Structure 1
Amino acid sequence: MEVDAAMMMMCVGFLIAFVIMFLTKALNWVWLEPKRAERFLRRQGLKGNPYTLFFGDIKAMSMMLHQAKSKPILINDDVAPRLAPFQNHLVKVSGKNSFFWYGPKITVNIMDPEAIKEVLNMMNDFPKPILNPLAKFLITGLVDLEGEKWSKHRKIINPAFNIIKLKVFLLFFIILEFSY
């Protein structure tokens, strides 16, 4: 009888420990990590909306997208407010370097050419997002590669994008266009 009671107490103890561990991880994922990231980015000088629990900016994004698509578009209209109304609004309000929230995930919007160049040169510090299996199957090549493989392939194709070679190709395409 005492063994059953001790076994039951041990099971309850494990269950309580598991629940506490789960709640701690959930609290960290849903609240502590997003707030820590927001503080860090604000110290770096980036602006954006404050984090809201679970949804972030998803509600505002969907409402703005719905409103933008409900209006007709003319041939000479700017397409940015139509295709990405939330990001366009964010750039106007918070500046070119800002952040927004996809639920508890933060997304940094960088539009400064020097900052973009710096990010692209530090590929090991900024990993690519993990793709789902279908996207991984469909997207192959330089876009999909990481680390040393990416560096090796970038060095191989880099000479093809030399400005002189591109001008020659442009001239060649213009000649082909007018010959038909």
Structure 2
Amino acid sequence: MTHTSAAPPAGPGYADGRYRIVIGVHLVLQRGDRVLLGLRSGTGWRDGHFHVPAGHLEAGETATACALREAREELGLALREENLELVHTVHHWTGVDDPRIQLFFRVRSWKGEPENAEPHLCARLDWFPLGDLPEPMVDYTADALRLYPQGIAFSCVGWPEQSRA
């Protein structure tokens, strides 16, 4: 399933006529049918919404290196790259900010217990059934968690209907 935009929004994400984009990296940790979610707090973006542990790609960093860093920073977990599986990609646009690519990596295995290592940014961390996610959820995260178990690897969230082919 692919969608194309007839006229992408202009903004600081466009340089030299080429599209530049922020990439978000998300961790999907599951225990059976339950997924680990945090309640955002003190971040300035979607505070009060549930979201998987996540962060943005930094300069010179691969997507998998970002996933390992975020697991360490947010959950106190040391992951191995070979235990990451890309399960869903979202092309996300809020209608305000530049569009983003959101990569969701399922963590196949880990050692230790995830902990809330950033309580100043996460009010709580808990396991929720995939089929009964809490409200409110970050929209594109809810979309990814609904679609990836169905084997759907890509979605667009937030784009106006007229932008979809």
TM-score, structure 2 as length reference = 0.24
Q: Return the index of the structure with the highest Cα Rg.
A: 1
In terms of fraction of residues, the more helix-rich structure is 1
Return the structure number with greater relative CO, CA threshold 8 A, min gap 6.
Answer: 2
In terms of fraction of residues, the more strand-rich structure is 2
TM-score, structure 1 as length reference = 0.23
